[in-house]
Amino acid sequence: MPPNAHEIAAALRGALRLARLDAGGLALFDRTLTGFWRSFFAAVIAAPAHLFLLVITPEVPPDVPIGRAIAVESIAYAIRWLAYPFAMLLVVDLLRRRERFFDYMVAYNWSNVPQIFLLTLVTAVGAALPDPLGPLLSALALLSILIYEWFVAKVGLLVSGPTAVTLVLLDLMLGVSISLVTSALLHP
């Protein structure tokens, strides 16, 4: 069962508080097993922005059938949402933080919503700006997102700063790997 409007609003407020580096945002999430599964509803909320990004920054060659492109991008989107939480099942044991898994993953999932909307806004605005302003705006947005992800990992798992950096790099590597496979499937 998806979260109700109240749960969604609370989770998004929590995600925005975390974006302001306010650890109190964690208290607004349902950090239970049920809350974990419901946090994947964030993928539904973020999907329109992701679709818009695909439209304004097309990476699909014109000779690829639209059905194939939709299938590949849809599967890649789902894998992006599932790969990192699955990997974290192993990592939390290595970090001896299993009891913090839901605290982190629920916050992580919901924090993806402001990230994707920021990327969408920056991409749209950046395309209209002259060089070097567009790329500079993109770089600042990326830096902000990396700091945000670092903070969510640090407070969600209660780990050190360097450990949080490692987790952000793991997430980044998974994302790049999925993007490379997606690109290979779209560029036969």
**Residue 166: CA count within 13 A, CB half-sphere:** 11
Length of the chain counted residue by residue: 188
pTM, two decimals, is 0.92
38-58: b (≥16 Cβ within 10 Å) or e: bbbbbbebbeebbebeeeeee
Alpha-carbon gap, residue 6 to 168, rounded angstroms: 29
Sign of the dihedral through C-alpha 119, 85, 147, 162: negative
Query: CA torsion 127→43→74→179, rounded to 10°?
Result: 60
pLDDT at position 96 = 97
Query: CA torsion 147→143→168→69, rounded to 10°?
Result: 130
Phi first, then psi, for residue 62 (nearest 5°) are -60, -25
Which amino acid belongs to residue 7? Answer: E
Q: Who contacts 129 (Cβ-Cβ below 8 Å, separation ≥6)? A: 137
pLDDT at position 8 = 97
Classify the phi-psi angles of 96: left when phi > 0, otherwise alpha if psi is within -120 to 50, otherwise beta. left
Helix ranges (H only) for the chain are 5-19, 33-39, 42-56, 66-94, 101-128, 133-157, 161-186
pLDDT at position 58 = 66
Other CB atoms closer than 10 Å to residue 1's CB: what's the count? 7
Per-residue pLDDT of the chain (188 residues; tens, 9 = 90+): 899 999 999 999 999 999 999 999 999 999 999 999 999 999 999 999 988 887 777 677 777 788 888 888 899 999 999 999 999 999 999 999 999 999 999 999 999 999 999 999 998 898 888 889 988 999 999 999 999 999 999 999 999 999 999 999 999 999 999 999 998 888 86
